[in-house]
Amino acid sequence: MKIMIVTETFLPSTDGIVTRLTACIRWLHRDGHEVRIIAPDLGVKEFDGAIVQGVPAYAFPFYRSKKFAFPNRLVKKYMADFEPDIVHVVNPAVVGYSGVNYAKSLGIPLIASYHTNIPQYMSYYKLGKLNWLMWWFMKKMHNKADLNLCTSQTVLKELTEKGFERMQVWKRGVDTEQFHPRHSTAEMRTRLSGGQEDKILLLYVGRLAAEKEIEKIREILTESDRFCLAIVGDGPHRKELEKHFKDTRTVFTGFIHGEELASAFASADAFVFPSTTETLGLVIMEAMASGLPVVAAESGPTKEQLTDRRNGLLYDSKDPKSFKDTVRLLEDSSFRQQLAQQAAADVSELGWAAAAEQIRDLYSQIAEAKAAESFQAAE
């Protein structure tokens, strides 16, 4: 098959969407398919043999740390030149608007996937009054697709209730070779803890943005002197966070990647994930695969990955005391180790193959169904 992916985010950006896409593209190449990518032009021209066709990218005034590609007729040219069997638009919003509309106008089978709760994010940027408009827009875009994917049963239920059509869950996955307890090193632990190796090292990995609610972690550092924190990542909220965590046992590393990132996960004692806006939270699985107990806000997507007091800890985000009381359970080293072992065991067989094979089969089914429709219409 010739597969065209139109995405709002791609390399060199690093997030759960990019991780999922790159893992699946590698698998699709090994399976004999040709993939081409349309993405914001951030200088990357090729990935794993796939051509990356850039669209001019700009920053939003309220979110200057990330560049987005706006609707552009280049998308239609790229599609017409490549003549794909299927187009997959990832998170249709900005350049994805062009992806959806041009695929439809050219009569190309279309799959769209929903990964980011953009309407919920808007309240964090003082745009909450436009929440309804964003839901209307997202639904309109997705309902043009022949099939829509999302990453959890919880999100599927929510979107279906809001009128999104033809929904299916795209299986989750994690690279269990890259993320593994064996990647722990004393050097990384020293770096992340600021030399305080005797402390319980909490780790946060992800984009530093207001909607991640990272500020919440500070209360455990002021409540107990047994913990220290490493914040791995960058984003528009970094300066505010550095002020918020000033004079606490906190190390900011900025972005780290590859083997260093795997070592960071494996060298910590626990992973903290306060966000309540995630549609899945791939970093949860990366932490689990690395042998870390995860402390996360109780939500539908987190409950699909974590079982409280089995392989992680869930806290009530509506209870002001719940987060720190839950984290303090990790002071029991034997309990912490029990959670860690179970977390690693629960994702040890996951991998990315099942998610990639599923998307390959869905591409094929939608392309064949559209071809059959066209044939019948021509008779």
pLDDT at 287 over 90: yes
Smallest CA-to-CA distance from 114 within 94, 89, 136, 137 is with 89
Smallest CA-to-CA distance from 302 within 283, 323, 319 is with 283
Average pLDDT over residues 164-180: 96
pLDDT at 379 over 70: no
Range among 3-12, 125-134, 205-214 with highest mean pLDDT value: 3-12
Helix H or strand E segment including 274: none
CB 301 within 8 A of CB 280: yes
The pLDDT score that the predictor gives to residue 124 is 59
All residues at 6 or more sequence positions from 266 whose CB lies less than 8 Å from its CB, including other chains: 179, 180, 181, 182, 183, 184, 185, 188, 290, 291, 292
d(CA 193, CA 257): 18
Q: Across the chain, what does the average pLDDT equal?
A: 93
Read out DSSP for 62-125?
TEEEEEEEPP-THHHHHHHHH--SEEEEES-SSHHHHHHHHHHHTT--EEEEE-B-HHHHGGGG
DSSP state of 171: P
Average pLDDT over residues 172-184: 96
pLDDT at 311 over 80: yes
**Least confident piece of the model among 65-69, 172-176, 215-219, 330-334:** 65-69
What CA dihedral angle connects 359, 360, 362 and 363, to 10 degrees?
A: 110
Positions of E strands within 144-226: 147-150, 167-169, 200-205
Smallest CA-to-CA distance from 108 within 132, 130, 139, 75 is with 75
The pLDDT score that the predictor gives to residue 185 is 97
pLDDT at 211 over 90: no
pTM of the model: 0.91
pLDDT digits (tens, 9 = 90+) for 189-204: 999 999 998 999 999 9
Query: Can you give the length of the chain in residues?
Result: 379
- Kindly state the percentage of the chain with pLDDT values over 70: 94
Give the confidence band of 58 by pLDDT, cuts at 50, 70, 90. very high
Give the other-Cβ count within 10 Å of 171's Cβ: 16
Give the other-Cβ count within 10 Å of 31's Cβ: 11
All residues at 6 or more sequence positions from 62 whose CB lies less than 8 Å from its CB, including other chains: 125, 126, 127
pLDDT digits (tens, 9 = 90+) for 113-162: 999 887 666 665 666 677 889 999 999 999 999 999 999 999 999 999 99
Give the confidence band of 378 by pLDDT, cuts at 50, 70, 90. low
Q: Which domains does the chain have, with CATH numbers?
A: 2-173+352-371 (3.40.50.2000), 181-347 (3.40.50.2000)
d(CA 15, CA 7): 13
d(CA 85, CA 296): 40
d(CA 189, CA 201): 8
